[in-house]
């Protein structure tokens, strides 16, 4: 039994039930393909992230507010930085991006060095990679104090 009676018109002309079901299945399948491919394509194509043009930042931190043997993350353009005050009072700053796979490093007050929690990588207080998988040292920044506030700059 072939039922090809016209059904409700969509564009002014009656269409057969078979054509309507074909159209419905075709658009549903097309929608499914788009719904699957769009997130996959969005995941695979990274968003544009231009290199930070910032060469210097003034932190809202006064030198007197930094306790010895402490560290804190700060924003250096679109990258994180790590500001450290050693137990002897020196102030140092580095890129906080681990040179292994890009995790954010932190200051380890117990061992008094820089630690990457992702794969237990360690850096010295000079930024040198001393244990674990990091292949290179952290990028150092220059630290100055202007008007009592800490200013961090990229090294030339
Ligand atoms: S990402 Fe830092 S040790 Fe692997």
Residue 2 pLDDT exceeds 90: no
Mean per-residue pLDDT, 35-57: 80
User: 90-101: buried (b, 16+ CB within 10 Å) or exposed (e) per residue?
Assistant: ebbbbbbbbbbe
Per-residue confidence (pLDDT) for residue 155, from 0 to 100: 78
Within 6 A (CB) of ligand 1 lie 98, 100-101, 103, 116, 118-119, 121, 132-134
Q: Which CATH superfamily is domain 56-154 in?
A: Rieske [2Fe-2S] iron-sulphur domain (2.102.10.10)
Pocket probe mutation, ligand 1, options 108, 118, 136, max atoms within 8 Å of Cβ: 118
CA distances from 56 to 98, 147, 155 (A): 20, 15, 10
Instruction: Report the nearest atom of ligand 1 relative to the CA of 132.
Output: 3
- If you average pLDDT over every residue of the chain, what do you get? 88
Residue 143: pLDDT band with limits 50, 70, 90 = very high
Q: Is the Cβ–Cβ distance between 94 and 114 less than 8 Å? A: yes
pTM: 0.68
Residue 72 pLDDT exceeds 90: yes
In tens, the pLDDT along 96-140 reads 999 999 999 999 999 999 999 999 999 999 999 999 999 999 999
């Amino acid at each position: 039994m072939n039922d090809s009676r016209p059904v409700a018109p969509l564009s002014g002309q009656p269409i057969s039930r078979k054509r309507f079901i074909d159209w419905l299945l075709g658009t549903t399948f097309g929608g499914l393909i788009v719904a699957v491919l769009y997130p996959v394509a969005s995941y695979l194509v990274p968003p544009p992230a231009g290199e930070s043009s910032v060469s210097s930042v003034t932190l809202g931190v006064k030198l007197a507010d930094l306790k010895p043997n402490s560290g804190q993350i700060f924003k250096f353009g679109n990258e994180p930085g790590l500001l450290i005050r050693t137990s002897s009072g020196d102030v140092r700053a580095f890129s906080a991006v681990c040179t292994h796979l890009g995790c954010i490093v932190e200051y380890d007050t117990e061992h008094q060095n820089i630690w990457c929690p992702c794969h237990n990588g360690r850096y010295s207080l000079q930024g040198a990679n001393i244990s674990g998988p990091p292949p290179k040292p952290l990028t150092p920044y220059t630290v100055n104090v202007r008007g009592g506030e800490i200013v961090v700059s990229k090294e030339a």
